Structure 1
């Protein structure tokens, strides 16, 4: 499910943030960073605020520094959700930017990466993006999946996953509360063919991995801890 937390703490978007560049991948504009000759890729699927979120791009650069070719597509075709736009409430926005369409686009991006010689792919989804990543994991299109404070993901979804998965949850999360993520953990534990890692971060709220303030030292520290967990997942399974 989704909650009002999915739309809180919106980032100030910037088309110029990050160390990478914007290119077309699989028919979508995408922020690209990391070694272009790498055979290992990581796909980051944003929350509703889209691919120009500075903290998301900083995370992409951090993952790229470990040797991965990182792709952050614009799944919203230049129309990320705007919290203060009274003419475009979230319910209306989601009608045009559903996770079904996001999944189709992500499949095209994965195919494009494989066509250029990428041999292994990891994917991380944030809030809205987590549902998209789960759908990729159901089809074994990726080698590792990571969900950060997921929205719209159900236990039945998790039961269908065929790829290794990490779930990073928040203690204070109405979209995916700890009780639900414990059910995710149980469902994953029952799958002998899938390695899994579920971690609930105490004292943080939905969105903490990418929607933190640089001025909040404690928030930055928690976010960085989650980033290390993400990188650990990709280092272990995307090779």
Structure 2
């Protein structure tokens, strides 16, 4: 395990992770998007949760609920509007590759197509709350490239997809990175070191080197004891980080 940066000494105590889970939140409209919301709406701190390409999965809902258990108002907009990626896109077949190319080539899967929708949500939320953002896989890149990235007070990325060295140029707030075994750690380290130069002592990088890309998202197998433990640890990191920086 690779760790850089300090953890909040007052670690949050989150509820246990459950394989058979009943979400605690509700659905409502936020900036014109159907959204899963959970936590106290009258809180002064909110977290925008941008899910992975598999959409509003039970794992995403449970992750949002874990963060909300620490008195954050958590909003998970359906940015993909129900048009989620499917497993056959990654089958390696010609048909699967065509589906994947179409999905990522335009709305809603193209990163650039989400810049304005994310900005609209952040504008609404940041007018009421101190706002943090967590992006899972695809959601990380959507967050850091959005025209609304300046509305956040702190950012977090779990097993980030499409990370690039120049991501750091867009980030001027505390950043938490939780890469898996599949991310390029030279890029992760570059981003961390770059944001440390502009915002020293307020960032954290922890690699979960034994876990696959997706262990905090829709690809998490919460029936597996080890994955469930890592899932809980990851969201504890996120909640601790936002407790410290929001």
Higher relative contact order (CA 8 A, sep 6+): 2
Q: Tell whether the 8 Å contact from 1:167 to 1:197 is kept in structure 2 after alignment.
A: yes
For normalisation by structure 2, the TM-score amounts to 0.82
148, 158, 182: which one pairs with 2:168?
158
1:186 alignment counterpart: 193
Question: Do the aligned partners of residues 112 and 194 (structure 1) sit closer, same or farther apart at CA in structure 2, a change above 3 Å counting?
Answer: farther
Deviation at 1:159, TM superposition (A): 2.7
Structure 2 residue aligned with 1:10 = none
| Residue matched to 1:6 | none
RMSD between aligned residues:
2.0
Q: CA deviation at 1:114?
A: 3.3
Gaps of 5+ in 1: 1-15
Cα distance, 1:134 vs. partner? 1.4
Aligned residue number for residue 38 of structure 2: 33
Label 1:192 to 1:35 Cα distance change in 2 as closer, same or farther (>3 A): closer
CA distance in 1, matches of 2:35, 2:101: 25
CA contact (8 A) 1:137 1:144 kept: no
Paired position in structure 1 for 2:228: 220
Structure 1 segments of 4+ aligned residues over 6 angstroms from their partners: none
Deviations 1:10-34 (A, max 9, x none): xxxxxx9511111110111110111
Other-structure match for 2:72: 68
Q: Give 1:123's match in structure 2, choosing from 123, 133, 146.
A: 133
Contact 2:163/2:187, CA 8 A, preserved across alignment = no
Whether 1:55 aligns to 2:55 is no
**1:80 and 2:80 matched:** no
User: Counterpart in 2 of 1:13?
Assistant: none
Contact 1:47 1:126 in 2 (8 A): yes
CA distance in 1, matches of 2:118, 2:149: 12
Residue aligned with 1:209, SS: coil
Report the CA distance shift for 1:44/1:35 in structure 2 as closer, same or farther (over 3 A). same
Over 3 Å counting, the alpha-carbon distance change for 1:145 and 1:192 in structure 2 is closer
Is the contact between residue 122 and residue 148 of structure 2 (CA under 8 Å) also seen in structure 1? Answer: no
Query: How far apart in 2 are the matches of 1:192 and 1:169?
Result: 20
Q: Which residue of 1 aligns with 2:119?
A: 107
Where in structure 2 are there 5+ consecutive unaligned residues?
1-20, 90-94
